Structure 1
Amino acid sequence: MNLLRNAVAYAENEDGWAQLSVVGSRIGNQASLDARNYGYPRLVDLLAAIDLFEMKRVNNHPQIRHKRRVAIAGG
């Protein structure tokens, strides 16, 4: 999970979104992670299944960012 988080953080732009191709390249440079070893045909499918990230497509190119956590006030 740290590898995925760090790769997204490395590739993110000022809005927090990262191009999946850059994230995949970063992961490939750091380790030999293969989504198929986790039961997913592609990295995009693996990341979509993890509840830590949100995804969108821009011109049919997937982008990913860390999900924003909403703090609950009061108690």
Structure 2
Amino acid sequence: MLRERERRGVAPTGPRAGGTTTARALQPAASDDPNERIRQLEARVAELEASERKLATERDILRKAAKYFAGETNW
């Protein structure tokens, strides 16, 4: 994953302390070329959209599991 980010020109986020990252760590590496900056930002947007899809899928699975187990209890 780190190599993929380096290939795209996105700065590595580094180790996470408590599962959070700073806003500065999430920004692409600085570039003087506007086209390069756009390419970096588009790559970051694609990465965030993929992460959003994964989280939405995980959320839906958890909701279905909670519904299943709530219906299975005999309290």
* Bigger fraction of residues in helix: 2
Report which structure shows greater RCO (CA 8 Å, sep ≥6).
1
Taking structure 1 as the reference length, what is the TM-score of the superposition? 0.29
Taking structure 2 as the reference length, what is the TM-score of the superposition? 0.29
* Bigger fraction of residues in strand: 1
